[in-house]
């Protein structure tokens, strides 16, 4: 049974703090590096893909916030999936999300390693991945409050980084800074907007959505709000802020560099400013990219640990993962230990596939994340009283998500990620199917025991007779 959010000391967060936390959990390498892959595949049309992704993100968060306001649950979206469709839905939703966040951690660790090699090109990537994973575990071990404070600081740094890029890039466009390798000019030709045709644009859609990944963590943290009904305000302001700075920075990046200057293993924002005579900018921006990637990696680490605990409390994972240490700071060491094993796999993948890993894992993580968003929209159809316009938005959101997922099949860069995600889905589906027999057997046994128990009232009447 899902655990209701408790109105204790945890409910101290204000809406703007949740909004800032959402920014911190969202802006990361999915945007700073993943957008470069999207631009390579879809060209300038990726700007329109980001607008569509923002609309889809708003629709998903809107219904998630409304469900949270009406019925705050620590398990958030998986609790609503279970309430709407039964235990199988709650089980599979939780493990799909756990798997997606595990893949995101692998993606972030790989991106962090790529950024750090800017300074230390001779060091193997797996050493950097191990280093960042250990620091991330340290932050989680400090507790939820330390996580929140750290992410608030990271949010300010990341927004400041994008503002810094906008100011410098704007100065270059208007001629205040000169010396770039390419003449600043937004190339409005078809070759720029659709370099690989409509198929390339369609395939790039997943990377636009991936840049908004993080709103589900806001759902997990919304139970800490003083007023849960303010969750929609926090999400709407966050999405509006992200969309504005995403679109503005993408337009400037495409103005400063041609498409053939992007290689996919560097941030387009680094490449855009790299040719200007600004010695401090590449290093400062690289440091900020590392902070951004580390922030979202820690957010994913927090999310997988949190969802694993809620799964264990709901008897959808071994109960040992819900156990915490005794003392002043109670820590879920078993859940953290299990997650650490997942991180070890991610580090091993970074060792075995140093170049191809990021694009493959990023695509797979994006697909798994969008499947969880699909769960949210499906659940809202049963748990919320939607107006006609609300129903139209819900179907539009599902259509956008399915369009982004299917687009990954048609491009060589994203197709391996599609097969990776499909493998995860098949495994989770088979485990859910197997567990359903166990749940039915347990329910039947409980019903049989209830029938076998003597009826006290009946016994009393017999004694009186």
C-alpha 440, offset from chain centre: 33
CA 274 to chain centre: 29
Question: Quick check: 6 pLDDT over 50?
Answer: no
pLDDT digits (tens, 9 = 90+) for 362-371: 888 889 989 9
* Distant-in-sequence, close-in-space partners of 284: CB < 8 Å, separation ≥ 6: 164
What integer pLDDT is reported at residue 423 of this predicted model? 92
**pLDDT tens-digit profile of 177-211?**
877 667 777 766 667 788 778 888 899 999 999 88
Helices 144-173 and 231-256: crossing angle, nearest 10°? 40
d(CA 167, CA 249): 10
DSSP at 207: H
The answer, yes or no, to whether residue 3 has pLDDT greater than 50, is no
Quick one: DSSP state of residue 6?
P
Q: Is 16 helix (H, G, I), strand (E, B) or coil?
A: helix
In DSSP terms, 4 is beta-bridged to 73
Between 125-139, 229-243, 265-279, 311-325, the lowest mean confidence (pLDDT) is in 265-279
Higher pLDDT, 241 or 264: 241
Q: Using the predicted structure, report yes or no on whether residue 385 has a pLDDT greater than 80.
A: yes
Beta bridge partners of 225: 13
Instruction: For residues 125 and 111, give the distance between their C-alpha atoms in angstroms, rounded to a whole number.
Output: 10
- Classified as helix, coil or strand, 329 is coil
Q: With cut-offs at 50, 70 and 90, classify the pLDDT of residue 304.
A: confident
What's the DSSP call for residue 44? G
Share of the chain above pLDDT 90, in %: 16
Q: Is the pLDDT of residue 267 over 60?
A: yes
Return the H-helix or E-strand segment holding 172. Answer: helix 144-173
Residue 40 has pLDDT above 80, yes or no: yes
Any residues with CB less than 8 A from the CB of 4 and at least 6 apart, and which? 72, 73, 74
61: its two tokens = 């968060």
pLDDT at position 50 is 94
| Mean of all residue pLDDT scores within the chain | 81
pLDDT at 328: 66
In this predicted structure, which of 122-126, 128-132, 386-390 has the lowest mean pLDDT?
Answer: 122-126
């Amino acid at each position: 049974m899902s655990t209701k959010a408790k109105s204790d000391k945890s409910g101290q967060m204000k809406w703007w703090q949740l909004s800032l936390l959402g920014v911190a959990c969202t802006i990361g390498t999915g945007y700073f590096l993943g957008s470069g892959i999207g631009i390579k595949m879809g060209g300038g049309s990726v700007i329109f893909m980001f607008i569509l992704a923002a609309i889809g993100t708003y629709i998903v968060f809107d219904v998630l916030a409304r469900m949270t306001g009406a019925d705050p649950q620590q398990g958030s979206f998986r609790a609503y999936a279970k309430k709407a469709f039964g235990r199988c839905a709650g089980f599979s939703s939780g493990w799909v999300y756990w798997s997606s966040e595990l893949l995101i951690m692998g993606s972030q660790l790989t991106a962090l390693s790529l950024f750090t090699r800017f300074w230390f090109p001779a060091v193997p990537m797996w050493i950097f991945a191990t280093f960042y994973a250990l620091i991330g575990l340290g932050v989680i071990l400090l507790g939820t409050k330390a996580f929140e404070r750290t992410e608030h600081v990271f949010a300010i740094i990341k927004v400041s980084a994008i503002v810094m890029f906008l100011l410098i890039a704007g100065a270059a466009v208007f001629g205040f800074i000169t010396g770039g390798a390419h003449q600043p000019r937004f190339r409005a030709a078809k070759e720029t907007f659709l370099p690989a045709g409509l198929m390339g644009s369609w395939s790039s859609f997943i990377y636009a959505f991936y840049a908004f990944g993080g709103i589900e963590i806001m759902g997990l943290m919304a139970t800490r709000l003083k007023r849960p009904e303010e969750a929609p305000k926090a999400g709407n302001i966050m999405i509006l802020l992200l969309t504005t700075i995403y679109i503005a920075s993408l337009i400037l990046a495409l103005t400063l560099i041609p498409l053939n200057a992007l290689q996919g293993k560097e941030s387009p924002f680094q490449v855009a400013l790299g040719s200007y005579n600004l010695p401090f900018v590449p290093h400062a921006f690289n440091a900020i990219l590392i902070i951004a990637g580390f922030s979202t990696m820690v957010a994913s680490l927090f999310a997988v640990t949190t969802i694993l605990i809620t799964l264990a409390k709901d008897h959808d994972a071994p109960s040992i993962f819900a156990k915490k240490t005794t003392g002043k700071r109670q820590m879920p060491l078993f859940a953290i230990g299990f997650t650490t094993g997942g991180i070890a796999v991610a580090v091993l993948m970074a060792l075995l596939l140093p170049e191809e890993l990021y694009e493959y894992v990023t695509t797979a993580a994006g697909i798994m994340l969008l499947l969880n968003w699909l769960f949210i929209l499906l659940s809202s159809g049963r748990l919320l009283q939607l107006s006609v316009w609300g129903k139209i938005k819900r179907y539009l959101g599902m259509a956008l998500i399915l369009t982004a997922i299917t687009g990954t099949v048609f491009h060589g860069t994203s197709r391996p990620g599609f097969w990776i995600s499909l493998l995860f889905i098949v495994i989770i589906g088979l485990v859910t199917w197997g567990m359903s027999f166990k749940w039915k057997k347990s329910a039947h046994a409980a019903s049989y025991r209830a029938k076998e128990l003597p009826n006290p009232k009946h016994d009393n009447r017999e004694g009186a007779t």
